[in-house]
Structure 1
């Protein structure tokens, strides 16, 4: 697939829509009746007006003609082949959605690994029986120990029958961070005889959050790059590790 470069439009041309701000052109009203959600308006070349929208979770741009009577759905590309649709979609659709997802991650049941003051935060969906989670934990030591990165292990239990009880026991431990570090260093998890219902429910919420991100393998990694969320699955290799964690200390 050809990756089209992004064009950054001035912020003044990316205008969120409010009910009081304007009435949508008739073609967009018709599309809204069919399930389209309009997130914002932006100026476009040649008398067109662009709208950042989404349908069934998929972002898209819609361009309305100057007379307001016709609309075209799709990307607008200039003479150099640059995609004029990507920047507005990132700003008006993906950006707010990513912020909401990041807030959901912040509220999830996770175990910290590293200093809270670290500039970079990386969320890792972690199963107690995932060997690649342990590899990632070990590979990240230079960044974590240098205070550059805090890993936030969103515990899940999906790989083995014993995983859910182990994950809940780690979350409910007196010192979850120390318990996680000991486990990743090779000390077996001490499973609680009675699992706190609070943490059982939290584990289920973590599973739901993982599914919502379309992550199906552990470690499932969520991080920020250029202001947008990105994900990775499995043990990152080569340059991808530096992309996730930043320059090696």
Structure 2
């Protein structure tokens, strides 16, 4: 996910869309019939009315002319080149979508690494055969051990033929956190002969969640910044590491 600029419009200009479909301007009704979803409306300059919308999950803005007869799809830019569409999209489309995704991550099959009352939670799609996952685990020790960050390792098995069995075995361990820590410390995974079916299904759900976030490499990292979700893939550089985990303890 890209880095998002700060809000450009005050919250007072962002209005919930309480109107029923027959109260929408005719161009929006036509777009809705083609599959556009309207999430809310906001004030715009020069008699325009802005609508935050999405199509296939992709956010976009639509601006309706004052007479309600015409609509333009796209970003509105002011004389200074500022994108006036971003703030309403962040608040009316991205924020609710991100809250739903964060809840899905919380419900996924993950292994805790760090204190439950940590200041920050970071989700990490982790494959047991991923050397960069081990590097990230080691690099995060100062934050985790200081109680600043809890890593939640959303287990996946995508890198090698035995990755799924290792991932499920870690999830099924008597103490998954201890088992993962031992593995990241260099010990081999104790692979189970019989894998619990519910955890095999949970692993597939984790794969689907990773795909939905357009993550293709591990560690696949999901974190929050300014109320919105961001992602990173692979072992982060130092500046990205502190963005994800916060100032070094």
- With normalisation by structure 1, the TM-score equals 0.96
- Give the Cα–Cα distance (whole angstroms) in 1 for the partners of residues 234 and 5 of structure 2: 28
Q: Which residue of 1 aligns with 2:225?
A: 225
User: Contact (CA 8 Å) 2:41, 2:50: kept in 1 or not?
Assistant: yes
User: Contact (CA 8 Å) 1:7, 1:83: kept in 2 or not?
Assistant: no
TM superposition outliers: structure 1 runs of 4+ over 6 Å: none
- Give the Cα–Cα distance (whole angstroms) in 2 for the partners of residues 105 and 5 of structure 1: 24
- Deviations along 1:161-217, whole A, 9 cap, x unmatched? 111111000001000000000000011010111111111111010001000001010
Moved more, 13-22 or 128-137: 13-22
Q: CA deviation at 1:57?
A: 1.8
- Mapped pair 1:17 → 2:17: yes
- Give the Cα–Cα distance (whole angstroms) in 1 for the partners of residues 214 and 96 of structure 2: 18
User: Contact (CA 8 Å) 2:22, 2:29: kept in 1 or not?
Assistant: no
Unaligned runs of 5+ in 2: none
Q: Which residue of 1 aligns with 2:148?
A: 148
Q: CA RMSD in A?
A: 1.5
Moved more, 108-117 or 17-26: 17-26
- Give the Cα–Cα distance (whole angstroms) in 1 for the partners of residues 127 and 68 of structure 2: 53
- Mapped pair 1:206 → 2:206: yes
Q: Which residue of 2 aligns with 1:39?
A: 39
- Deviations along 1:73-119, whole A, 9 cap, x unmatched? 11111111111000000000111000000000000000000001001
| Structure 1 residues 159-238: aligned runs within 5 Å | 159-238=159-238
- Give the Cα–Cα distance (whole angstroms) in 2 for the partners of residues 58 and 148 of structure 1: 34
- With normalisation by structure 2, the TM-score equals 0.96
- Mapped pair 1:94 → 2:102: no
SS in 2 for 1:217: coil
